[in-house]
Protein backbone atom coordinates (compact mmCIF):
# COMPACT_ATOMS: atom_id res chain seq x y z
CA UNK A 1 0.00 0.00 0.00
CA UNK A 2 1.32 3.50 -0.87
CA UNK A 3 1.84 5.81 2.07
CA UNK A 4 0.58 9.32 1.36
CA UNK A 5 -0.86 11.40 4.20
CA UNK A 6 -0.70 14.67 6.17
CA UNK A 7 -0.52 14.16 9.93
CA UNK A 8 -0.42 16.72 12.77
CA UNK A 9 0.93 15.72 16.19
CA UNK A 10 -0.30 17.96 19.01
CA UNK A 11 2.41 19.14 21.42
CA UNK A 12 1.83 18.17 25.04
CA UNK A 13 3.78 16.81 28.01
CA UNK A 14 2.40 13.55 29.43
CA UNK A 15 3.49 12.54 32.94
CA UNK A 16 2.26 9.04 33.78
CA UNK A 17 2.71 7.29 37.11
CA UNK A 18 0.57 5.90 39.92
CA UNK A 19 0.88 7.87 43.16
CA UNK A 20 2.92 10.62 41.45
CA UNK A 21 0.26 13.25 40.71
CA UNK A 22 0.88 15.66 43.61
CA UNK A 23 4.66 15.73 43.01
CA UNK A 24 4.28 15.96 39.25
CA UNK A 25 1.84 18.86 39.61
CA UNK A 26 4.22 20.75 41.92
CA UNK A 27 7.04 20.23 39.39
CA UNK A 28 4.88 21.50 36.53
CA UNK A 29 3.69 24.59 38.41
CA UNK A 30 7.36 25.42 39.16
CA UNK A 31 8.47 24.68 35.58
CA UNK A 32 5.75 26.94 34.18
CA UNK A 33 6.57 29.66 36.73
CA UNK A 34 2.90 29.93 37.75
CA UNK A 35 2.04 31.98 40.85
CA UNK A 36 -1.77 32.25 40.74
CA UNK A 37 -3.30 28.81 40.20
CA UNK A 38 -7.03 28.24 39.69
CA UNK A 39 -8.06 24.64 40.46
CA UNK A 40 -11.23 23.48 38.69
CA UNK A 41 -12.91 20.38 40.17
CA UNK A 42 -16.57 19.56 40.80
CA UNK A 43 -17.81 19.01 44.35
CA UNK A 44 -17.66 15.23 43.92
CA UNK A 45 -14.05 15.57 42.70
CA UNK A 46 -13.02 17.98 45.50
CA UNK A 47 -11.43 15.33 47.72
CA UNK A 48 -9.17 14.14 44.92
CA UNK A 49 -8.37 17.75 43.96
CA UNK A 50 -7.35 18.59 47.54
CA UNK A 51 -5.01 15.59 47.66
CA UNK A 52 -3.40 16.38 44.30
CA UNK A 53 -2.77 20.05 45.13
CA UNK A 54 -1.19 19.58 48.59
CA UNK A 55 2.27 20.72 47.39
CA UNK A 56 1.19 23.89 45.54
CA UNK A 57 -0.25 27.30 46.46
CA UNK A 58 -3.80 27.65 45.14
CA UNK A 59 -5.24 31.11 44.46
CA UNK A 60 -8.79 29.80 44.03
CA UNK A 61 -10.71 26.50 43.98
CA UNK A 62 -13.64 26.58 41.56
CA UNK A 63 -16.27 23.82 41.87
CA UNK A 64 -19.21 25.18 39.85
CA UNK A 65 -19.02 22.43 37.19
CA UNK A 66 -21.91 20.92 35.20
CA UNK A 67 -22.09 18.41 32.32
CA UNK A 68 -21.65 19.74 28.76
CA UNK A 69 -20.28 23.14 29.94
CA UNK A 70 -23.33 25.43 30.06
CA UNK A 71 -22.34 28.90 28.80
CA UNK A 72 -23.36 30.57 32.09
CA UNK A 73 -20.97 28.32 34.04
CA UNK A 74 -18.20 29.08 31.52
CA UNK A 75 -18.75 32.81 31.87
CA UNK A 76 -18.71 32.76 35.65
CA UNK A 77 -15.52 30.65 35.68
CA UNK A 78 -13.90 33.09 33.22
CA UNK A 79 -14.86 36.00 35.51
CA UNK A 80 -13.28 34.22 38.51
CA UNK A 81 -10.05 33.67 36.54
CA UNK A 82 -9.84 37.35 35.62
CA UNK A 83 -10.88 38.58 39.06
CA UNK A 84 -8.23 36.46 40.81
CA UNK A 85 -5.52 37.33 38.25
CA UNK A 86 -4.99 33.62 37.58
CA UNK A 87 -1.94 32.56 35.51
CA UNK A 88 -2.51 28.77 35.35
CA UNK A 89 -5.58 26.52 35.24
CA UNK A 90 -5.40 23.08 36.85
CA UNK A 91 -8.39 20.80 36.25
CA UNK A 92 -8.85 17.66 38.33
CA UNK A 93 -11.77 15.48 37.24
CA UNK A 94 -13.71 14.01 34.35
CA UNK A 95 -14.52 15.40 30.92
CA UNK A 96 -17.03 17.92 32.30
CA UNK A 97 -14.39 19.50 34.53
CA UNK A 98 -11.74 19.48 31.80
CA UNK A 99 -14.37 21.01 29.51
CA UNK A 100 -14.92 23.94 31.88
CA UNK A 101 -11.17 24.62 32.12
CA UNK A 102 -11.04 24.55 28.31
CA UNK A 103 -13.86 27.11 28.13
CA UNK A 104 -11.81 29.44 30.36
CA UNK A 105 -8.66 28.85 28.29
CA UNK A 106 -10.56 29.54 25.07
CA UNK A 107 -11.51 33.03 26.28
CA UNK A 108 -8.36 33.92 28.24
CA UNK A 109 -5.50 32.00 26.59
CA UNK A 110 -4.47 30.67 30.03
CA UNK A 111 -2.49 27.40 30.00
CA UNK A 112 -4.05 24.24 31.46
CA UNK A 113 -2.49 21.39 33.40
CA UNK A 114 -5.02 18.54 33.33
CA UNK A 115 -5.30 15.76 35.91
CA UNK A 116 -7.97 13.39 34.54
CA UNK A 117 -9.97 11.06 36.80
CA UNK A 118 -12.12 9.32 34.16
CA UNK A 119 -11.35 7.76 30.76
CA UNK A 120 -13.11 10.44 28.65
CA UNK A 121 -9.86 11.68 27.09
CA UNK A 122 -10.73 15.36 26.69
CA UNK A 123 -7.35 16.26 28.20
CA UNK A 124 -5.52 15.05 25.09
CA UNK A 125 -7.57 16.94 22.49
CA UNK A 126 -7.79 20.52 21.24
CA UNK A 127 -11.60 20.20 21.01
CA UNK A 128 -13.84 22.40 23.17
CA UNK A 129 -17.61 22.23 23.76
CA UNK A 130 -20.16 24.71 25.12
CA UNK A 131 -23.92 24.39 25.60
CA UNK A 132 -26.30 27.30 25.13
CA UNK A 133 -30.11 27.04 25.06
CA UNK A 134 -29.92 23.22 24.90
CA UNK A 135 -27.61 23.36 21.82
CA UNK A 136 -24.07 22.03 22.11
CA UNK A 137 -21.44 23.76 20.00
CA UNK A 138 -17.98 22.30 19.59
CA UNK A 139 -14.86 23.73 18.02
CA UNK A 140 -11.15 23.16 17.63
CA UNK A 141 -8.59 25.58 19.06
CA UNK A 142 -5.03 24.80 20.13
CA UNK A 143 -5.39 27.21 23.08
CA UNK A 144 -7.60 24.65 24.86
CA UNK A 145 -5.10 21.78 24.56
CA UNK A 146 -3.63 21.27 28.05
CA UNK A 147 0.12 21.96 28.07
CA UNK A 148 0.61 19.01 30.41
CA UNK A 149 -1.44 15.95 31.36
CA UNK A 150 -0.75 14.18 34.63
CA UNK A 151 -2.08 10.60 34.69
CA UNK A 152 -2.22 8.85 38.06
CA UNK A 153 -4.28 5.64 38.16
CA UNK A 154 -4.74 5.95 41.93
CA UNK A 155 -7.06 8.89 41.25
CA UNK A 156 -9.42 6.66 39.28
CA UNK A 157 -9.80 3.99 41.99
CA UNK A 158 -12.91 5.77 43.31
CA UNK A 159 -14.64 5.78 39.91
CA UNK A 160 -17.47 3.21 40.27
CA UNK A 161 -17.23 0.13 38.03
CA UNK A 162 -20.33 1.01 36.01
CA UNK A 163 -18.98 4.48 35.22
CA UNK A 164 -15.50 3.08 34.57
CA UNK A 165 -16.96 0.64 32.02
CA UNK A 166 -19.02 3.31 30.24
CA UNK A 167 -16.12 5.79 30.27
CA UNK A 168 -13.62 3.17 29.05
CA UNK A 169 -15.97 2.20 26.21
CA UNK A 170 -16.15 5.91 25.32
CA UNK A 171 -12.39 5.58 24.84
CA UNK A 172 -12.94 2.41 22.80
CA UNK A 173 -15.32 4.40 20.58
CA UNK A 174 -12.58 7.01 19.97
CA UNK A 175 -10.29 4.18 18.80
CA UNK A 176 -12.75 2.33 16.58
CA UNK A 177 -14.19 5.47 14.98
CA UNK A 178 -10.63 6.71 14.26
CA UNK A 179 -10.26 3.78 11.84
CA UNK A 180 -12.59 5.46 9.30
CA UNK A 181 -12.86 9.10 10.45
CA UNK A 182 -12.22 11.91 7.93
CA UNK A 183 -8.51 12.35 8.73
CA UNK A 184 -7.68 8.70 9.48
CA UNK A 185 -4.03 7.94 8.69
CA UNK A 186 -1.47 5.21 9.47
CA UNK A 187 -0.21 7.04 12.59
CA UNK A 188 -3.55 7.59 14.28
CA UNK A 189 -4.68 4.07 13.27
CA UNK A 190 -1.58 2.63 15.00
CA UNK A 191 -2.36 4.62 18.16
CA UNK A 192 -6.01 3.52 17.97
CA UNK A 193 -5.07 -0.15 17.61
CA UNK A 194 -2.80 0.01 20.68
CA UNK A 195 -5.60 1.85 22.50
CA UNK A 196 -8.05 -0.99 21.73
CA UNK A 197 -5.56 -3.55 23.02
CA UNK A 198 -4.92 -1.63 26.26
CA UNK A 199 -8.62 -0.96 26.94
CA UNK A 200 -9.54 -4.59 26.19
CA UNK A 201 -6.95 -5.65 28.77
CA UNK A 202 -7.62 -2.99 31.40
CA UNK A 203 -11.42 -2.87 31.55
CA UNK A 204 -12.00 -6.57 32.40
CA UNK A 205 -9.35 -6.23 35.15
CA UNK A 206 -11.29 -3.29 36.65
CA UNK A 207 -14.55 -5.23 36.37
CA UNK A 208 -12.91 -8.16 38.20
CA UNK A 209 -11.38 -5.94 40.89
CA UNK A 210 -12.07 -2.18 40.90
CA UNK A 211 -8.99 -1.64 43.10
CA UNK A 212 -6.63 -3.35 40.60
CA UNK A 213 -4.14 -0.54 39.92
CA UNK A 214 -2.57 -2.21 36.89
CA UNK A 215 -6.02 -2.58 35.27
CA UNK A 216 -6.65 1.10 35.99
CA UNK A 217 -3.23 2.00 34.50
CA UNK A 218 -3.88 0.04 31.29
CA UNK A 219 -7.28 1.68 30.94
CA UNK A 220 -5.89 5.18 31.53
CA UNK A 221 -3.10 4.53 29.02
CA UNK A 222 -5.66 3.24 26.50
CA UNK A 223 -7.90 6.25 27.14
CA UNK A 224 -5.00 8.62 26.42
CA UNK A 225 -4.11 6.82 23.17
CA UNK A 226 -7.76 6.81 22.14
CA UNK A 227 -8.04 10.56 22.59
CA UNK A 228 -4.83 11.29 20.68
CA UNK A 229 -6.08 9.10 17.83
CA UNK A 230 -9.50 10.81 17.88
CA UNK A 231 -8.03 14.34 17.99
CA UNK A 232 -5.94 13.47 14.95
CA UNK A 233 -8.50 11.47 12.92
CA UNK A 234 -11.60 13.58 13.67
CA UNK A 235 -15.21 12.54 14.16
CA UNK A 236 -16.43 9.53 12.22
CA UNK A 237 -19.98 8.21 11.87
CA UNK A 238 -20.12 7.02 15.49
CA UNK A 239 -19.19 10.42 16.96
CA UNK A 240 -21.60 12.24 14.66
CA UNK A 241 -24.47 10.00 15.82
CA UNK A 242 -23.58 10.37 19.52
CA UNK A 243 -23.07 14.13 19.23
CA UNK A 244 -26.61 14.51 17.84
CA UNK A 245 -28.13 12.18 20.45
CA UNK A 246 -26.30 13.82 23.36
CA UNK A 247 -27.06 17.36 22.24
CA UNK A 248 -30.68 17.00 21.13
CA UNK A 249 -31.91 14.59 23.82
CA UNK A 250 -29.49 15.31 26.68
CA UNK A 251 -28.37 11.67 26.92
CA UNK A 252 -25.42 10.83 29.21
CA UNK A 253 -22.16 11.07 27.25
CA UNK A 254 -20.21 7.93 28.13
CA UNK A 255 -23.25 5.59 28.26
CA UNK A 256 -24.47 6.82 24.86
CA UNK A 257 -21.09 6.09 23.28
CA UNK A 258 -20.90 2.70 24.99
CA UNK A 259 -24.37 1.73 23.72
CA UNK A 260 -24.15 2.95 20.10
CA UNK A 261 -20.64 1.64 19.30
CA UNK A 262 -21.45 -2.03 18.50
CA UNK A 263 -24.14 -0.96 16.01
CA UNK A 264 -21.80 1.37 14.11
CA UNK A 265 -19.07 -1.27 14.10
CA UNK A 266 -21.47 -3.94 12.81
CA UNK A 267 -22.70 -1.52 10.12
CA UNK A 268 -19.27 -0.44 8.87
CA UNK A 269 -17.20 -3.61 9.38
CA UNK A 270 -18.29 -5.45 6.19
CA UNK A 271 -17.26 -2.43 4.08
CA UNK A 272 -14.00 -1.60 5.91
CA UNK A 273 -11.71 -4.62 5.47
CA UNK A 274 -8.46 -3.03 6.64
CA UNK A 275 -10.12 -1.47 9.73
CA UNK A 276 -11.93 -4.73 10.46
CA UNK A 277 -8.69 -6.69 10.31
CA UNK A 278 -6.82 -4.25 12.57
CA UNK A 279 -9.60 -4.03 15.17
CA UNK A 280 -9.91 -7.84 15.28
CA UNK A 281 -6.12 -8.18 15.65
CA UNK A 282 -6.11 -5.63 18.50
CA UNK A 283 -8.82 -7.61 20.29
CA UNK A 284 -7.07 -10.88 19.43
CA UNK A 285 -10.32 -12.31 18.05
CA UNK A 286 -11.49 -13.69 14.70
CA UNK A 287 -13.57 -10.63 13.82
CA UNK A 288 -13.87 -7.07 15.09
CA UNK A 289 -17.56 -7.52 15.96
CA UNK A 290 -16.80 -10.69 17.94
CA UNK A 291 -14.03 -8.90 19.84
CA UNK A 292 -16.19 -5.98 20.90
CA UNK A 293 -19.17 -8.20 21.63
CA UNK A 294 -17.18 -10.52 23.88
CA UNK A 295 -15.62 -7.58 25.76
CA UNK A 296 -19.05 -6.01 26.25
CA UNK A 297 -20.44 -9.30 27.61
CA UNK A 298 -17.55 -9.54 30.11
CA UNK A 299 -18.14 -5.96 31.21
CA UNK A 300 -21.94 -6.15 31.33
CA UNK A 301 -21.81 -2.98 29.22
CA UNK A 302 -24.67 -0.48 28.70
CA UNK A 303 -27.05 -2.08 26.15
CA UNK A 304 -30.05 0.02 25.18
CA UNK A 305 -30.60 3.75 24.59
CA UNK A 306 -34.09 3.41 26.05
CA UNK A 307 -32.38 2.89 29.43
CA UNK A 308 -30.76 6.34 29.18
CA UNK A 309 -33.76 8.53 28.30
CA UNK A 310 -33.99 8.10 24.50
CA UNK A 311 -37.59 7.63 23.37
CA UNK A 312 -38.65 5.64 20.29
CA UNK A 313 -40.72 8.60 19.05
CA UNK A 314 -37.50 10.65 18.74
CA UNK A 315 -35.94 8.28 16.16
CA UNK A 316 -37.31 9.96 12.97
CA UNK A 317 -36.12 13.40 14.11
CA UNK A 318 -32.72 11.99 15.12
CA UNK A 319 -32.35 10.40 11.64
CA UNK A 320 -33.02 13.79 10.04
CA UNK A 321 -30.44 15.47 12.24
CA UNK A 322 -27.75 12.82 11.69
CA UNK A 323 -28.09 12.27 7.93
CA UNK A 324 -26.63 15.66 6.84
CA UNK A 325 -23.57 15.26 9.10
CA UNK A 326 -22.56 11.73 8.03
CA UNK A 327 -18.87 12.03 7.05
CA UNK A 328 -17.99 11.48 3.38
CA UNK A 329 -15.14 9.28 4.61
CA UNK A 330 -17.54 6.63 5.94
CA UNK A 331 -16.62 3.30 4.33
CA UNK A 332 -20.26 2.48 3.62
CA UNK A 333 -22.94 4.81 2.23
CA UNK A 334 -25.55 5.66 4.87
CA UNK A 335 -29.23 6.09 4.02
CA UNK A 336 -32.11 7.29 6.20
CA UNK A 337 -33.37 3.68 6.28
CA UNK A 338 -29.96 2.48 7.53
CA UNK A 339 -29.89 5.09 10.28
CA UNK A 340 -33.45 4.33 11.32
CA UNK A 341 -32.65 0.60 11.62
CA UNK A 342 -29.45 1.34 13.55
CA UNK A 343 -31.21 3.65 16.01
CA UNK A 344 -34.15 1.26 16.46
CA UNK A 345 -31.77 -1.57 17.32
CA UNK A 346 -29.72 0.64 19.67
CA UNK A 347 -32.88 1.96 21.31
CA UNK A 348 -34.11 -1.55 22.05
CA UNK A 349 -30.68 -3.07 22.76
CA UNK A 350 -31.08 -5.77 20.05
CA UNK A 351 -28.07 -7.84 18.99
CA UNK A 352 -26.25 -5.86 16.26
CA UNK A 353 -26.56 -7.49 12.81
CA UNK A 354 -23.85 -7.35 10.16
Shortest Cβ 268–ligand NAD spacing (Å) = 21
Could you say which DSSP state residue 55 is in? T
SS3 75: helix
Shortest Cβ 131–ligand NAD spacing (Å) = 8
Which residues, other chains included, contact 322 with Cβ-Cβ below 8 Å and sequence gap of 6+?
Answer: 240, 241, 244, 339
State which of positions 18-57 bind ligand NAD (CB under 6 A): 42, 44-45, 48
Q: In this complex, which beta carbon is closest to ligand NAD, that of residue 218 or of residue 269?
A: 218
Report the Cα 1 to chain-centroid distance in Å.
Answer: 31
- Residue 129 found at the interface with ligand NAD (CB under 6 A): yes
Q: In this complex, which beta carbon is closest to ligand NAD, that of residue 228 or of residue 289?
A: 228
Torsion of CA 307, 310, 313, 318, to 10 degrees: -140
Question: Distance (Å, rounded) from C-alpha 273 to C-alpha 319?
Answer: 26
Question: Distance (Å, rounded) from C-alpha 10 to C-alpha 3?
Answer: 21
Selected from 70, 111, 121, 291, the binder of ligand NAD by CB under 6 A is 121
DSSP bridge pairs for 38: 60, 89
Selected from 67, 309, 327, 349, the binder of ligand NAD by CB under 6 A is 67
Among the residue ranges 21-29, 74-82, 121-129, 176-184, the one whose residues contact ligand NAD (CB under 6 A): 121-129
- Residue 163 found at the interface with ligand NAD (CB under 6 A): yes
Query: Cβ–Cβ contacts within 10 Å for residue 251, how many?
Result: 19
Shortest Cβ 103–ligand NAD spacing (Å) = 10
Question: Distance (Å, rounded) from C-alpha 92 to C-alpha 115?
Answer: 5
CA distances from 59 to 40, 53, 88, 146, 223 (A): 11, 11, 10, 19, 30
- Residue 106 found at the interface with ligand NAD (CB under 6 A): no
- Residue 155 found at the interface with ligand NAD (CB under 6 A): yes
DSSP bridge pairs for 140: 127
Number of residues that bind ligand NAD (CB under 6 A): 28
Question: Distance (Å, rounded) from C-alpha 165 to C-alpha 146?
Answer: 25
Angle at 106 between CA 100 and CA 110, to 5 degrees: 90
- Residue 213 found at the interface with ligand NAD (CB under 6 A): no
Question: Distance (Å, rounded) from C-alpha 162 to C-alpha 144?
Answer: 29
Selected from 96, 188, 268, 293, the binder of ligand NAD by CB under 6 A is 96
Selected from 154, 216, 240, 253, the binder of ligand NAD by CB under 6 A is 253
Q: Which residue is nearest to ligand NAD (CB)?
A: 95
Helical H segments across the chain, by residue range = 21-32, 46-52, 71-83, 95-108, 161-178, 186-208, 213-233, 237-249, 253-268, 273-283, 288-299, 315-322, 336-348
Q: In this complex, which beta carbon is closest to ligand NAD, that of residue 118 or of residue 218?
A: 118
Q: In this complex, which beta carbon is closest to ligand NAD, that of residue 67 or of residue 349?
A: 67
Selected from 37, 91, 127, 193, the binder of ligand NAD by CB under 6 A is 127
State which of positions 295-354 bind ligand NAD (CB under 6 A): none
Q: In this complex, which beta carbon is closest to ligand NAD, that of residue 69 or of residue 265?
A: 69
Shortest Cβ 115–ligand NAD spacing (Å) = 10
Q: In this complex, which beta carbon is closest to ligand NAD, that of residue 46 or of residue 281?
A: 46
Contact residues toward ligand NAD (CB under 6 A) are 42, 44-45, 48, 67-68, 93-97, 99, 117-118, 120-122, 125, 127, 129, 155-156, 158-159, 163, 167, 253-254
Amino acid sequence: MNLNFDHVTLGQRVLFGSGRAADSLADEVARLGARRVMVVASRSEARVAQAVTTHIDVAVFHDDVAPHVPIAKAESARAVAVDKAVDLLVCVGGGSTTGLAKAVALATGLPIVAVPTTYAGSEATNVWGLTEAARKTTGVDDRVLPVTVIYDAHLTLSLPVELSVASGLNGMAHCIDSMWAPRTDPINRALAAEGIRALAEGLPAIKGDPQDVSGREQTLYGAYLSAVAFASAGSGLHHKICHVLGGAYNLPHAQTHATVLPYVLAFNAPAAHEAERRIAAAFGTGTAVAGLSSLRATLDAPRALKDYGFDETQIPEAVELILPVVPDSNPRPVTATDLEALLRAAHAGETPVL
